[in-house]
Structure 1
Amino acid sequence: MINRVVLVGRLTRDPELRYTPNGVAVANFGIAVNRPFTNQQGEREADFFNCVVWRKQAENVANYLKKGSLAGIDGRIQSRSYENQEGRRVNVVEVQAESVQFLEPRNASSGSGGPRNDYESFAGGGNRNFGSGQDQNRNSTNLNEDPFSDDGQPVDISDDDLPF
């Protein structure tokens, strides 16, 4: 039997971190996943899923994700039931996340207008050359320059270099 789900979407609420009586961390959160098509009115609809993650991953989710964060979930669907306070049986279907991937930098949704990640802070800081003397000038490369642009020179490729 196969029970595998992979979702990419945005959190619908801040993760709620709790601990079991044995001290095991568990976090609950919701995720909205856009459908790949539009409805008859041209609007994109979404599906909403409740997710549960355990242990260290639960603590990381609670510390680093918030409502609106983009995340990738790899896990399985699990159903359970319980009796509520009125004595009615409630059935719950949720995603038991085995892996949660943070798909955007922590400050991406802050709207600060600053760099989105460490690479952009480095790349946006101008030409940073490492080395000394003439080697520094000779080895400097503009990070925005396209290394595959056509510079008018023929490309020398041996048939042995081709994978086919």
Structure 2
Amino acid sequence: MNNLRNKVQLIGNLGKDVEFKELENGNAIARVTIATKEVYQNPQGEKIVDVQWHNLVGWGKVAEIMQVLLKKGKEVAVQGKLTHRSFEDKEGRKRYISEIIVKEFMPLN
């Protein structure tokens, strides 16, 4: 049951091409955004389309494979864990971000 404590699974479409970088220590990192869509009817009977954007981060071998296989618009299934962190932007303001650390993924189209 421990492996269910922080597990995220999403299916969606990539909003841009993967940003890939090799760090000074030799580790690789890949970043990309994925959009998930939910369609439902509100109490007034109107069709509502709710699109949510999620930040994905891959490390090491996962990052290298993400760079090769994932392109803007591609539908993908992702499994990973949810993380939250803070950073300082260029103006010195503290910002907060939520990211999904990708453990596995599978292109669907």
Following the alignment from structure 2 to structure 1, what is the Cα–Cα distance between the partners of residues 41 and 98? 26
Q: Give the letter for the 1:15 counterpart.
A: V
User: Are 2:57 and 2:100, in contact at CA under 8 Å, matched by a contact in 1?
Assistant: yes
Instruction: Look up the match of 2:7.
Output: 4
Where do residues 59-74 of structure 1 align in structure 2 (5 Å cutoff)? 59-74=64-79
Q: Deviations over 1:1-43 (max 9, x none)?
A: 7111000001011111001111111100000011152456314
**TM-score normalised by L of structure 1:** 0.59
Give the percent of matched residue pairs that are identical in Structure 1 and Structure 2.
Answer: 32
**TM-score normalised by L of structure 2:** 0.86
Where do residues 9-158 of structure 1 align in structure 2 (5 Å cutoff)? 9-39=12-42, 41-104=46-109
Match of 1:66, SS? coil
Following the alignment from structure 1 to structure 2, what is the Cα–Cα distance between the partners of residues 66 and 41? 33
Q: Deviations over 1:30-60 (max 9, x none)?
A: 0001115245631422111010011122111
Larger fraction in helix? 1
Gaps of 5+ in 1: 105-164
Number of residue pairs the alignment of both structures matches: 104
Match of 2:47, SS? coil
Q: Give the letter for the 1:65 counterpart.
A: L
Moved over 3 A (4+): 38-41
Gaps of 5+ in 2: none
